[in-house]
Amino acid sequence: MSAQTNDQSRALSSNAWLKSYYYLRFAVSAAWVALAFTVAKDSPLFAAVMLVAYPAWDALANYLDAQRSGGLGRNKSQLLNLVVSIITAIAVAIALGRGISAVLAVYGVWAVVSGAFQLLTAVRRWKTNGAQWAMILSGAQSALAGLFFVKMASGTEAIGIANVAPYAAFGAFYFLVSAVWLSVGGALRRSPRAVR
Domain extents for the chain?
11-187
Q: Is the pLDDT of residue 193 over 60?
A: no
pLDDT at 185: 73
pLDDT at 111: 97
Average pLDDT over residues 141-150: 95
Angle at 41 between CA 25 and CA 52, to 5 degrees: 50
Confidence of residue 156 (pLDDT cuts 50, 70, 90): confident
DSSP 70: T
pLDDT at 73: 93
Crossing angle of helices 100-129 and 133-153, in 10° steps, is 170
pLDDT single digits (tens) 63-110: 999 999 889 999 999 999 999 999 999 999 999 999 999 999 999 999
Q: Is 130 left (phi over 0), alpha (psi -120 to 50) or beta?
A: left
Q: Is the pLDDT of residue 195 over 60?
A: no
Nearest to 117 by CA among 88, 90, 139: 139
